[in-house]
Structure 1
Amino acid sequence: MEDSKTGEEGESGPAVDAELAKAIMARHFRPSLIVTEAWEGYTFAGLEIRIKESTDLYGAVLWPSALVLCHFLDTNRDKYNLTDKNVIELGAGTGLVTIVSSLLGAKVTSTDMPDVLGNLRYNVLRNTRDRCKYIPQVTELTWGQELEQRFPRATHCFDYILAADVVYSHPYLEELMDTFDHLCQEGTQILWAMRFRLDPENSFVERFQKRFHMEELYDLPSLSIKLYRGWRKDKWTVPHSGEAAA
C-alpha cells in the first residue's frame, strides 16, 4: 500500500482525524420540527438532501462510511471531477452517495439488492429531480451473479466504482470481490469507504490487495473508517488523481 494520506492536504494524526471527522459529521442534520415522514438531512454540493431510512432493512440504513465518501467527493472536485463521468455505486442502500455523485455531474448507475430498491428509488428521485444533468439509473445487482449479462464489459465501462460500507460480516465477500473485478476495467478507479468492525474486514483488504493496487486516502480512527482508492494491477500503471480512461 502507498503511504497514508489523511485529510484534504495529506496531513495525518489525531488532531487532523478529529477535525476531519467533525467536519464530516457536521454534514448531517435532523429536522427541527416534528414532520409526518421521518427523514435525516444532509448537506452536500451546496444543497439539502433528505434521506428516508427503512429501519426494518439492514441495507436501507445510512452508515457513516457514506458520509465519509460523500465528503471526500464534495471537497476534492478538482482532483476527482465527476462531471460527465460514468459511475456505478455498489450497495447503494439509502442512496446518499448516488445522490451526491449525481449532483456533482456524474452519470450514475445505482445498484443494490431487490428488497432495498423501493426505498432507494424514492430517495434518489426526491433529491435529484430537476437538480441533475443526468437522471440516475437504479437497478438490481446481486454480487457475483449474471455480471456479464447485466453489465457487459464491452459496453459498460465505468470511470469510477463507488462503495460505502459494503464490507461487513456476511457470506458474500468473495462475490463482492468478483463484482469489483468484473466492473473494474482499464481506466476504472474504485473509491471505497469501509468501517472496520471484525476480522473479515481486515482479511478482505488483504485479498483486495492481491488483485488491485490500493492507496489509503483517509484514515479516521475516531470513526473506525478508512477510505481507499483502488485500480487494477494487471491493466495499467498508477493513475493521477481524477484520471480515467479516455
Structure 2
Amino acid sequence: MESCSALDTQGGGDGGADGIAVAPDAELAASIMAHHSQPSLILNQVWEGFSFAGKQIRIKESTDLYGAVLWPSAIVLCHFLENNLDKYNMADKNVMELGAGTGLASHRLQSVTSTDLPEILANLTYNVQRNTKDHCRYTPVVTELSWGQQLEERFPRSTHHYDYVLAADVVYHHPFLQELLETLEHLCQPGTQVLWAMRFRMDIENRFVERFQQRFSMELLYDLPSLNIKLYRGWKP
C-alpha cells in the first residue's frame, strides 16, 4: 500500500534571542507531523512530496525499517537550509550526510556523499537517483558507512575533505554513539561545519550533546519548541 503527502518548506522564521531562529511553531510543526515518521505495521511503502527552491522532490520510504522512514528532524534541517541560503549556500561545496535514511537533505545538494547502513542503501539509492537526475552537475555518491569502522581506509583524510557534514535524528534509538563521535571527528577537518538536527525525546540526547561539546565547538542555530527539535552547528576548535 502507498500513501502520498506534500509539504512546501518555503517561508521564514522569526528571529529569536541571540540570533537563534525560532520557527513559526504551530504551522511548521503541523506540516511536519502530517508526514509519516515512524515504522508502520500497515503500510510498507509511503511516498512523500516536497518542494525546495521550486524543485519537486518525491521520497519513497520503507516503513518496516527505522532508518528508511522520514523523521521530523530531516524536514527541519531542510527547512533551515532553504531559508538560510545566504549563510549556508552549499552549491559547489563537498557535503557528507551521515545516517541519510531517505536522503531528503541530499537531494537538494550538488556534490554530496549520502551514507547509511547496508540495509538502508537500496531505498536511499533509489531516492537519490530519482530526485537528482538531470538536476546535478555532479554525480551523487551513495555508500555504506558503519560508524567507527574502516574510516581511514574508506575515507582517508588526505583526500576526503568535507565542507559540511549533515545529520538528522542520528542519536535516537542508536547504540553506537561513541562510534558516531569518532566518525564525526574523523570527517571534520579545519573548515568543516557540522549541521545536526535532533529531536529531544529522552535523556540520551542531552548526554550526547554534552559529549559532543567536549570535542567540538557548538552553537544552537534553530529551535522548534513544540516538537523538541533543535538544530546545531559544530566545528573543530
TM-score band w.r.t. shorter chain: 0.7 to 0.9
Aligned counterparts, 1:145-164, within 5 A: 145-164=149-168
Q: 2:70 aligns with which of 58, 62, 68?
A: 62
Indicate the residue corresponding to 1:173 in structure 2: 177
Cα–Cα, structure 1 residues 21 and 81, in superposed 2: closer, same or farther, change >3 Å? farther
Structure 1 contact 28–43 (Cα < 8 Å) conserved: no
Deviation of residue 127 (structure 1)?
0.7
Match of 1:207 in 2: 211
Change in 2 beyond 3 A, CA 1:129/1:210: same
Cα distance per residue 1:112-137 (max 9 Å; x no partner): 00000000000111111001222210
* 1:81 alignment partner in structure 2: 89
Tell me which residue corresponds to 1:243. Answer: none
User: Between the two proteins, what is the percent identity of the paired residues?
Assistant: 66
CA deviation after TM superposition for structure 1 residue 66, in Å: 0.3
Return closer, same or farther for 1:99/1:24 CA change in 2, 3 Å cut-off: farther
Q: Which moved more, 1:112-121 or 1:132-141?
A: 132-141
SS of 1:39 mapped into structure 2: strand
Does the alignment pair 1:10 with 2:15? yes
Task: Give TM-score scaled by structure 1 length.
Answer: 0.82
Structure 1 position 140 matched with structure 2 position 148: no
Q: Secondary structure at the match of 2:123?
A: helix
Unaligned runs of 5+ in 2: 1-11, 36-44
TM-score using structure 2 length: 0.85
Q: Deviations over 1:129-170 (max 9, x none)?
A: 001222210000000000000100000000000000001132
2:75 corresponds to which letter in structure 1? L
1:57-92 CA distances to partner (integer Å, 9 max, x unpaired)? 110000010001001111111111101000000000
Query: What are the equivalent positions in structure 2 for 1:24-43 lying under 5 Å apart?
Result: 26=31, 38-43=46-51
Question: Which residue among 102, 107, 113 is the counterpart of 1:94?
Answer: 102
Q: Is the 8 A contact 2:107 2:128 kept in 1?
A: yes
Distance change in 2, residues 1:96/1:25 (3 Å): farther
SS of residue in 1 equivalent to 2:232: strand
- 1:217 and 1:137 map into 2 onto residues whose CA distance is 28
Contact persistence 1:21–1:223 (CA under 8 A): no
1:21 is displaced (CA, Å) by: 5.6
Other-structure match for 1:244: none
Q: Would you say how many aligned residue pairs link Structure 1 and Structure 2?
A: 215
Query: Residue type of the partner of 1:68?
Result: V
Structure 2 distance, partners of 1:29, 1:202, is: 27
| Alpha-carbon spacing, 1:181–1:25, altered in 2? closer, same or farther (3 Å) | farther
- Tell me how far apart the structure 2 counterparts of residues 42 and 29 of structure 1 sit (CA, whole Å): 12
Rounded to whole Å, the distance in 2 between the matches of 1:193 and 1:215 is 12
